Amino acid sequence: MDVTIVDYKSGNISSVINSFKEVAKGKVNIEVTSDLNKIKSSDKVVLPGQGSFKSCIDDLNSINGLTDTLSEFALNNKKPLLGICVGLQMFADVGYEEVETKGLGWISGKVSKINNQNGKYKLPHIGWNQINIIKESKIFKDIENNSHMYFVHSYEFVPNDKSVIAATTDYSSNIVCAIEKENIFGTQFHPEKSDKTGLNIIDNFLSL
């Protein structure tokens, strides 16, 4: 099985690469590339994202044909794709970090700043927080509810269709922290930084 981690130069993704290779144990071929043909022929794709919504979208768009290839992979060919952190946020129609920016438009919704209730909650939301699993998701197989995951973000994905929400976390309000829509999966937390439980989520994705 071939799994591609999309490297579009959006910050340091070494921990994502290391975690996937650790879980794959050589049984799964992990490629790190933005080569369109490699992505097209992959069985699964991982879309990481670090930095701002705008910078990640700009970096994706700077590689000719990449967003079209990813859309074809996820929407037309219905192959499993996992977005991590800003990788999940980019599924939205629009993001409001820095400046209004068009997203990939795969899952209708917006990415807006977490309401910190006039400074009562510190932003970014950083560190370990519990997740509340609200629907059975393939990536949460054998994951206990209220498990702790590692977060670093100031913006949240607000989908229009609440049925795609797989888990939330409580920080100032109920923040969407995982989604599943058919073959499209996303986590706002960083599974690659979330200890053994995070590695189990990666394993669940690779085992789909």
Catalytic residues: 85, 190, 192
Q: Where are the domains of the chain?
A: 2-206
- Of the candidates 87, 64, 68, which has an alpha carbon nearest to the alpha carbon of residue 6? 87
Predicted local distance difference test score (pLDDT) of residue 10: 83
SS3 string, the chain, reads: CEEEEECCCCCCCHHHHHHHHHHHCCCCEEEEECCHHHHHHCCEEEECCCCCHHHHHHHHHCCCCHHHHHHHHHHHCCCCEEEECHHHHCCCCEECCCCCEECCCCCCEEEEECCCCCCCCCCCEEEEEECEECCCCHHHCCCCCCCEEEEEECEEEEECCHHHEEEEEEECEEEEEEEEECCEEEECCCHHHCHHHHHHHHHHHHCC
Selected from 3.30.70.940, 3.40.50.880, 3.40.50.300, 3.40.50.720, the CATH number assigned to the domain covering 2-206 reads: 3.40.50.880
Predicted local distance difference test score (pLDDT) of residue 124: 97
Predicted local distance difference test score (pLDDT) of residue 11: 82
Q: What is the pLDDT along the chain (208 residues), one digit of tens a residue?
A: 999 999 999 888 999 999 999 999 989 999 999 999 999 999 999 999 999 999 999 999 999 999 999 999 999 999 999 999 999 999 999 999 999 999 999 999 999 999 999 999 999 999 999 999 999 999 999 999 999 999 999 999 999 999 999 999 999 999 999 999 999 999 999 999 999 999 999 999 999 9
The model's pTM is 0.98
